Structure 1
Amino acid sequence: MNSLRIYNTLTRDKQIFIPLVAGEVQMRWLRTLGYRVTYAQNITDIDDKIIRRALENGETIAALTARFTRAMHEDAAALGVERPDLEPRATEFVPQMLALIETLEKNGYAYQAADGDVNYAVRKFAAYGQLAGFVADDLRAGERVAANAAKQDPLDFVLWKRAKPDEPADTRWDSKWGTTSTLKMHAAG
């Protein structure tokens, strides 16, 4: 099992694979190499698009996400893809996400903008983008979405959005930043 070499995106070279826990990994394809694998796949069961689609369809968020999750499972089964061992839903971990965002804010990596949203301060994390091979100064804000004037920096992105008046009650959580909705947890590069 110790002859496996994988590409390290941070160092940009191949290295001998050494699992954090001997004999156990968190990547499914390594089962064939004899590792005990825990396959986890998250279900994003709340975001702007889901809220908008549920409102357009006249259905609950839970009904919409259950329908799409079933369809995903059916497609995966038809392709012979194994079911994950763990399938956590975002809404099951809201308190943990709020705690993480609060920690980011306390350490200067997140802030509440004038519009009520809580944003990640990209330039505060010097290594942002390192795994992808880019630096913050090379990024162009507004390429994928419209730039938001409430942000301290156009590159900053939303971690947690304030609740909008037309959003259903089941999409709202109370937090230290007020009533919020639509989680936007991202991995910081």
Structure 2
Amino acid sequence: MRNLVLSSILALAASPALAVGLDIDVEGEANGTIHIELFEDTAPAHVERLTMLAEQGAYDDVVFHRVIEGFMAQTGDVEYGRMGGDMSMAGMGGSDMADLPAEFSDERSFQRGTVGMARSQSPDSANSQFFIMFEPAPHLDGQYTIVGEVTEGLDVLDAIKRGEGPNGAVIGQPDVMADVTVTE
């Protein structure tokens, strides 16, 4: 009996934990689903924030407000970035929760499909906004919290409407995260 219990414990310890992720249904110029695996091991507070907001429906109908060709697509402004609202402030807001302390990792690098947390000048100012990389950007390593990576839907990411100018502001009808759900 003791050996059976011990072998069951060892089998559980050896089995991989369920990975938490997000499915983002995108509508607009891009149509489809982007699946993101979240890095609970290196950014637990940020993963908790993203999944909490997704479970509350806070990301539903939030636009990609800043999209820079060859760099990244930014979204997640749950305060000012909702489709149908006054888009003049999109990118300036966050959630009603406190900003998060940075969770930088030497183990991960900004590659194509990496998801990072957007912030202001303070490293400890990430809140609800995040960005997804079109191309590698190693100059961001150690500067922004890496929270996950796209494992499916890079073609959908590539089709997101691009912004204009050096800041990548999307003019006209932006693409939108129509529905964001937490996966395991």
Please tell me the TM-score bracket, short chain as reference: under 0.3
TM-score w.r.t. structure 1 length?
A: 0.25
For CA contacts below 8 A with separation 6 or more, give which structure has more relative contact order: 2
Greater share of strand residues, 1 or 2? 2
Greater share of helix residues, 1 or 2? 1
Q: Give the structure with higher Rg (CA).
A: 1
